[in-house]
Structure 1
Amino acid sequence: MIVILGTGGTIAGTAKTASDGVGYTAAQLRVEDLLAAVPALAGHKLEAQQVAQLDSKDMDFATWQRLAVAVQQQLDRPEVSGVVITHGTDTLEETAYFLHRVLAPAKPVVLTAAMRPATALAPDGPQNLFDAVQVAGTPGARGVVVAFAGRVHDAVQVRKTHSYRVDTFESVDGAVVARVEEGSVRTVGRWPAGEALGLAHIAAPTDRWPRVEIVMNHAGANGAVVRALRASGIDGLVAAGTGNGTLSVALDTALREAEAGGVRVVRSTRCDAGPVMDLPGLLPSAGALSPVKARIELILALLAEA
Structure 2
Amino acid sequence: MVSVKLLLSLGASLALASPISPPPNSLLLTRDVAQFNASHPNITIFATGGTIAGSAGSSDQTTGYQAGALGVDILIKAVPQLWNVSNPTGVQFANVGSSEITPAILLNLTRLVQQELDKPECQGVVVTHGTDTLEETAFFLDVTLRTEKPVVVVGAMRPATAISADGPINLLEAVTVAASPAARGRGVMVVLNDRIASAYYTTKTQANAPDTFKSYEQGFLGYLLNIKPIFYFSPALPVGKPYFNVTETAAELLPQVDILYGYQGLDPKLAAAAVAGGARGLVCTGMGAGSWTAPGQQALARLITEHGTAVVFSRRTMDGYVGSRQVGYGAGFLNPQKARYTLMLALSAGYGDEQMRTLFES
Compute the TM-score of the two structures, normalised by the length of structure 1.
Answer: 0.95
Secondary structure (helix, strand or coil) at the match of 1:176 reads coil
Q: In structure 1, what is the Cα distance between the partners aligned to 2:198 and 2:259?
A: 23
In structure 1, the partner of 2:271 is 226
Native 8 Å contact 1:104 1:195 kept in 2:
no
Q: CA RMSD in A?
A: 1.5
Q: In structure 2, what is the Cα distance between the partners aligned to 1:259 and 1:7?
A: 37
User: Does residue 295 of structure 2 align to residue 253 of structure 1?
Assistant: no
In structure 2, the partner of 1:189 is 233
How far has the Cα of 1:254 moved from its partner? 1.4
CA displacement, residues 266-287 of structure 1 (integer Å, 9 cap, x when unaligned): 11111111110225x3431111
Native 8 Å contact 1:2 1:136 kept in 2:
yes
Q: In structure 2, what is the Cα distance between the partners aligned to 1:283 and 1:72?
A: 33
Native 8 Å contact 1:222 1:248 kept in 2:
no
Q: In structure 2, what is the Cα distance between the partners aligned to 1:31 and 1:222?
A: 45
In structure 2, the partner of 1:199 is 246
Secondary structure (helix, strand or coil) at the match of 2:292 reads coil
- Aligned 1:236-247 pairs, distance under 5 A: 236-247=281-292
CA displacement, residues 188-233 of structure 1 (integer Å, 9 cap, x when unaligned): 1354535642233xx3331342010000110111312112112222
Native 8 Å contact 1:18 1:121 kept in 2:
yes
Q: In structure 1, what is the Cα distance between the partners aligned to 2:147 and 2:199?
A: 12
In structure 2, the partner of 1:56 is 98
Detail structure 1 runs of 4+ shifted over 3 Å in the superposition. Answer: 189-196
- The one-letter code sitting in structure 1 at the alignment partner of 2:312 is V
- Aligned 1:39-78 pairs, distance under 5 A: 39-43=80-84, 44-78=86-120
- The one-letter code sitting in structure 1 at the alignment partner of 2:272 is R
Secondary structure (helix, strand or coil) at the match of 2:214 reads strand
The structure having more radius of gyration, on CA atoms, is 2
- The one-letter code sitting in structure 1 at the alignment partner of 2:64 is G
In structure 2, the partner of 1:168 is 212
- Aligned 1:1-306 pairs, distance under 5 A: 1-43=42-84, 44-142=86-184, 143-189=187-233, 191=235, 193=237, 196-200=243-247, 203-261=248-306, 262-279=308-325, 281-305=326-350
User: What's the % identity of the aligned pairs?
Assistant: 39
Q: In structure 2, what is the Cα distance between the partners aligned to 1:50 and 1:31?
A: 6
- The one-letter code sitting in structure 2 at the alignment partner of 1:198 is N
Change (3 A) 1:172 1:183: same
Q: In structure 2, what is the Cα distance between the partners aligned to 1:174 and 1:30?
A: 34
Kindly tell me the number of residue pairs found equivalent between the two proteins. Answer: 303
Native 8 Å contact 1:104 1:144 kept in 2:
no
Native 8 Å contact 1:154 1:191 kept in 2:
no
Q: In structure 1, what is the Cα distance between the partners aligned to 2:233 and 2:215?
A: 11
- The one-letter code sitting in structure 2 at the alignment partner of 1:297 is T
Q: In structure 2, what is the Cα distance between the partners aligned to 1:282 and 1:232?
A: 21
Native 8 Å contact 1:6 1:86 kept in 2:
yes
Q: In structure 2, what is the Cα distance between the partners aligned to 1:172 and 1:304?
A: 31
Q: In structure 1, what is the Cα distance between the partners aligned to 2:281 and 2:270?
A: 13
Secondary structure (helix, strand or coil) at the match of 2:282 reads strand
Native 8 Å contact 2:114 2:146 kept in 1:
no
